[in-house]
Copies of this chain bind each other. A is one copy, B any other.
Amino acid sequence: MTLSTQPYKGTRDFYPEELAKRNYIFNTWRKVLIASGFVEYDCSILESAEMYLAKSGEELGSKQLYAFEDKGERKIALRPEMTPSLARMVAGKFRELKFPLRWFSIPNCFRYERPQKGRTREFWQLNADIIGLEAGEADLEILLLLGKTFLEFGATKEMFSIRYGHRGLLDEWINKNNLNDKKEAVYALLDNWRKLVGDKKLAFATESGLTENEFKIVFQMVENPNQIDTTSFAEIALIQKTLPSILPEVEFVFDPTIVRGIAYYTGLVFEAFDHNPENNRAMFGGGRYDNLLELFNQKSPAVGVGVGDLTWHEFLVGWNLYPENLSETTKVGIMALNRNSLTEIFGKTIPKLISENKLYEVNYEYERSENKRYDALKKRGCGEVIKI
């Protein structure tokens, strides 16, 4: 029998060239996060299935979940997202942990869906969360973190923007405009705003139960977001006052169409947008979810973001932001001039057995300390290293 050499549907093989790209993204994310005071955590990709099924009614809890039974009849699942695991870990050591936490992880997750451009069944996702701080500086901090992450990859202002809204502000506006009993319809309309082109906005609105007049009220608000009084939540006031001067290299925009679905988030919500005309879309998002630990009967305020590896990869490709040489090794040539030098060179590089008076091309980490080592070899007349 000959087996197929294809990977499982919706998953990817990372040959060294592709893994170098993934490592570049992950390591750059890590660099920004660690520099911002975040620490990394991880856990198993296998979790109890009930953790996802508990949130019934959601897509993740049912048809997209890779759930099965182990040989001991435990119901287990491959995580479709990291947040429930994060909540489990934080709740599990709630009394020992020193809050606030600034935690990040870059887990792989599985969702059973039709693979298509920019979507695979297995994906990696940067999760960065601040846990234990109420709305305020932490919300600002997450937005800054995102902006700086883009900058670290060499992105410039014209390439992307970070757009944010606030559920509390939107609820206030809905209340002021007597749309309280149409709240779900307004949220749904705003959530789909960008996808609905031209007439489709009104059609969607009426289907959702809004009158034409109510639609107009929403439409005018989106056209002129200034009519939303943004002063009643301190974190938004803080963001608007502080962000432009702290990180002028990044475009932060208040945008009332950012609502991030109907459930889950409790305050600030945000999304990052790729400005590439061929790739113009929301790359990822996040926000405040003070209900994080609910499943585990604990309470703690939290704000966080999840960034997928694929959309980030496409952003870098679209704007040509990958560095030219991602290989972690540098080619050097080693010329062994006499027998004495063989073991000395071998002691560090072991590319293959080296014969005298022959130039070997090898992959080798070209560090300053190594330069010294080879300088010494050279001085003693027993070897030569040439950077290729």
Contacts and interface: CB of A to CB of B under 8 A. Distances in A.
Contacts of A349: 35-37
Copies of this protein in the complex: 2
B74 A9 contact: yes
B91 A37 contact: no
Nearest to A70: B112
Interface in A336-380: 343, 346-353, 362-365
Contact of A6 (B15, B36, B92, B365): B92
A4 B141 contact: no
A91 B7 CA distance: 12
Nearest to A295: B3
Interface residues of A, number: 90
A37 B363 contact: yes
A16 B40 contact: yes
A321 interface: no
A246 interface: yes
A35 B365 contact: yes
Given A8-B76, A365-B35, A19 B2 contact: no
21 contacts: A4-B48, A5-B88, A8-B44, A15-B89, A16-B40, A19-B42, A20-B40, A22-B42, A34-B365, A35-B348, A36-B350, A36-B351, A37-B362, A38-B363, A39-B328, A45-B45, A45-B108, A45-B122, A63-B71, A238-B353, A246-B346
A315 B38 CA distance: 29
Contacts of A348: 35
Interface string A234-255: 0000100010011100000000
A263 interface: no
Interface in A208-265: 238, 242, 245-247
A200 interface: no
Nearest to A352: B137
Interface in A1-36: 1-9, 11-16, 19-20, 22-23, 31, 34-36
Contact of A15 (B7, B41, B54): B41
A50 B8 CA distance: 11
B7 A44 contact: yes
B68 A40 contact: no
A358 to B, nearest CB: 14
Contacts of A148: 350
A93 interface: yes
A31 to B, nearest CB: 8
Contact of A14 (B22, B42, B343): B42
